[in-house]
Structure 1
Amino acid sequence: MSHLNKMIFGSFLALGTLVATSSYSWMGMWMGLEINLLSFIPLISTSKNMLPAESALKYFIAQVLASTILLLSIVVLSMKVFNLIESSFQSSLIFNTSLLLKMGAAPLHFWFPEVMEGLSWLNSMILLTWQKIAPMILLSYSSKTMMLLITSIISCMFVSGVMGQNHLSLRKIMAYSSINHIGWMIAATLYFEVVWMIYFLIYSVITLNIVIMLKKLNIFFMKQFTLMMNQEPTLKMFFILNFLSLGGLPPFLGFFPKWLTIQVMINESFYFLAIVMIVATLATLYFYMRITFSTLVLSMNSTLLTNDPPTYKFFITATNLVTLASLILSTLVFNLL
């Protein structure tokens, strides 16, 4: 695909998200989601090999199923088959289910890791970040079906912690990591949308740093990761720090949005859910630590980065300084809020 076509489809991808999030009607939101879907399919399907085409087909089937369920919720609400209260509740239940399927939240996550496995790092970055914006914002617009969303949050915690343990593919590990963060973002959306915005922004910056480094070294599997990172000690250090930040380990910046989310949940007296989320996230943190320790322990002869242009080094250093803020900075921002 030429660069011009990529720019056109990328523009329509952004347009679809903007239409969905700024529409005044449910049908307008549905149209925006469809524009976003039909723009992303050509970006991920290339003729170079079969994996992107397979991922595009899986993504298309899952998203069409979610769109069909969304349309069903609109029909249920408009027909008023039951009385108004029952119709509104059932419509909200179906609508929220379709949004959970669209964003890849557990237990409707079956398509997400499989689609990630066939994508390039650039398309993976889009799927991990931008494609979450519209469903999350629409979820904040809709009536909250608390039991469904709490079940999804707990499922995200446990599914990501258990399923992410035995994978050697870094794309699948990033997918299960994203499922864990989806659970935290849904919890933030339930009570305070500003916390969700802070969480999503920080998550996107950290994920961007990690994807840039993996794309730079053309790494997709753990074996490649261990070999290449020991030859690039500067990137190795940055990657380890960003990965720990993505896991929410203090004193890195990734801990700050989780801290905010826990604080909001405690203020709303959701003590049990907060405890379950904290304990279940420890399993996810385990495979973050496993990857970072493997690179530290398996050391080889290494050379410094000498062949990269100064602009690349500056970009890597500058973007990583953002994610390596200490708890002192986090405390100052938290007090300002």
Structure 2
Amino acid sequence: MSPYVLTIMSLSLLLGTTMTLISDHWLTAWMGLEINTLAVIPLMTKPHHSRSTESAIKYFMIQATASMIILFSAIFNASTTNQWITGQISNTSASFMMTIALAMKLGLAPFHFWVPEVTQGIPLLSGMILLTWQKIAPISIFYQISPSLNMSLLMILSITSTLLGGWGGLNQTQLRKILAYSSIAHMGWMTIIIMIYPSLTILNLILYLASTITMFMVLNQSSSTKINSLSILWNKSAPNMIIITLTLLSLGGLPPLTGFMPKWLILQELINFNNIPLAMMLALSTLLNLFFYMRIIYSSTLTMFPSINNTKLQWALYSHKTILPIPTLTIISSLLLPMTPMFITLS
């Protein structure tokens, strides 16, 4: 792709997300979502093969349907309340349609089927954008309209997402599909708490972005797309293998890593609001995610003895892809648990 086209698409992604974040009018928020969708499609079709084209078409159809429902619900709400201000949805039907549309954009179950298929058909860096940056704008709208959401509907979407996100990744061998199902499960954790404690949703989103970007960048740096390809990674790059292990355990929510923080705080808030059965279901659903994270760790660390590479062609193992942000992102996604009191104070 031409550097000029890449620059235009990147700036368009930034513009679309920024418009949605700062807008106080439903029309400009919708325009930001549309700019985001149209800007990411050329990045998804960059390899120019049939699989990426098919994924881009699937993504466009889902996003166009969701955008249509968002615009329709905003118009319907304005017709009954004479309000176009973002965050004010007093009409029950409009709130229901808006929740369904945003669930489609985020890939919440039962509207999650497009996420693994689209992620599998595009390059690693495009998949990283799809599972990270493209979540910011819909989550920001969820955050703004959280007081007027339907709690029962949101609970059903969230619980279904955490369960199906964990269940769907159990038999996967493709790393992009595993990270897609991980994204579905994490979206369920974010939406379940958005009505009770919206600041925890933002904290969970930030830590999820750091961990997922770290994982995608390491996989891109080692050109790994399958679990089997990770079995020789220890011999090629032991630091990358350590980063993958720490990041996956953090995504699974194991202490003392950073990923334990949002899950701990969310479960604590649910228990404080006497939602103990819901908290138990969320905690148990985490075991499903942890299982396929441990499968990756087992395949990459225990299936091959960590011997020294004796080949003379060391240059063939050296990757020229950028690794500059990886150390910082690894620290953020793994070592911030001691700072939990500070995050609680800030939220």
In the TM superposition, residue 289 of structure 1 has moved relative to its aligned partner by: 1.2
Match of 2:61 in 1: 61
Query: Relative to structure 1, is the Cα distance of residues 318 and 16 closer, same or farther in structure 2, using a 3 angstrom cutoff?
Result: closer
Match of 1:99 in 2: 102
1:120 to 120, 123, 126: 123
In the TM superposition, residue 167 of structure 1 has moved relative to its aligned partner by: 0.8
In the TM superposition, residue 118 of structure 1 has moved relative to its aligned partner by: 1.1
C-alpha distance in structure 2 between counterparts of 1:158 and 1:245, whole Å: 19
Query: Relative to structure 1, is the Cα distance of residues 105 and 58 closer, same or farther in structure 2, using a 3 angstrom cutoff?
Result: same
In the TM superposition, residue 44 of structure 1 has moved relative to its aligned partner by: 1.1
Tell me whether 236-245 or 223-232 shows the greater mean CA deviation: 223-232
CA contact (8 A) 1:231 1:300 kept: no
1:287 to 292, 299, 313: 292
1:109 to 112, 119, 122: 112
Match of 1:136 in 2: 139
C-alpha distance in structure 2 between counterparts of 1:333 and 1:267, whole Å: 20
Q: Tell me if 1:238 matches 2:243.
A: yes
C-alpha distance in structure 2 between counterparts of 1:333 and 1:25, whole Å: 33
CA contact (8 A) 2:234 2:301 kept: no
Write out aligned runs for 1:282-321 (5 A).
Answer: 282-300=287-305, 302-303=307-308, 316-321=326-331
Q: Tell me if 1:222 matches 2:227.
A: yes
Match of 2:4 in 1: 4
1:98-128 deviation digits (Å, cap 9, x = unpaired)? 0000111111111111110011111111111
Match of 2:173 in 1: 168
Number of residue equivalences: 332
SS in 2 for 1:252: coil
C-alpha distance in structure 2 between counterparts of 1:47 and 1:293, whole Å: 31
Structure 2: give runs of 5+ residues left out of the alignment.
82-88
1:168-206 deviation digits (Å, cap 9, x = unpaired)? 110000000001110111123222222122111111111
Structure 2 residue identity aligned to 1:291? I
Structure 1: give runs of 5+ residues left out of the alignment.
none
In the TM superposition, residue 333 of structure 1 has moved relative to its aligned partner by: 3.3
Q: Tell me if 1:36 matches 2:45.
A: no
C-alpha distance in structure 2 between counterparts of 1:40 and 1:255, whole Å: 31
Structure 2 residue identity aligned to 1:333? M
In the TM superposition, residue 265 of structure 1 has moved relative to its aligned partner by: 2.0
1:260-295 deviation digits (Å, cap 9, x = unpaired)? 212222233322211111111111111111211222
Query: Relative to structure 1, is the Cα distance of residues 46 and 331 closer, same or farther in structure 2, using a 3 angstrom cutoff?
Result: closer
CA contact (8 A) 1:203 1:246 kept: yes
C-alpha distance in structure 2 between counterparts of 1:93 and 1:136, whole Å: 16
Tell me whether 229-238 or 174-183 shows the greater mean CA deviation: 229-238
1:15-64 deviation digits (Å, cap 9, x = unpaired)? 11111222222122111111111111112112532222111111000001
Q: CA RMSD in A?
A: 2.5
CA contact (8 A) 1:19 1:32 kept: yes
Output the TM-score relative to the length of structure 1. Answer: 0.91
C-alpha distance in structure 2 between counterparts of 1:158 and 1:231, whole Å: 35
1:65-104 deviation digits (Å, cap 9, x = unpaired)? 11121122123223339xxxx9800110001100000111
SS in 1 for 2:113: coil
Match of 2:214 in 1: 209
CA contact (8 A) 2:19 2:28 kept: yes
1:144-179 deviation digits (Å, cap 9, x = unpaired)? 111111001111111011110111110000000001
Tell me whether 92-101 or 185-194 shows the greater mean CA deviation: 185-194
Match of 1:324 in 2: 334
Structure 1 residue identity aligned to 2:342? V
C-alpha distance in structure 1 between counterparts of 2:183 and 2:298, whole Å: 21
CA contact (8 A) 2:174 2:227 kept: yes
CA contact (8 A) 1:247 1:284 kept: yes
CA contact (8 A) 1:247 1:288 kept: yes
SS in 1 for 2:193: helix
2:342 to 327, 333, 337: 333
C-alpha distance in structure 2 between counterparts of 1:137 and 1:318, whole Å: 25
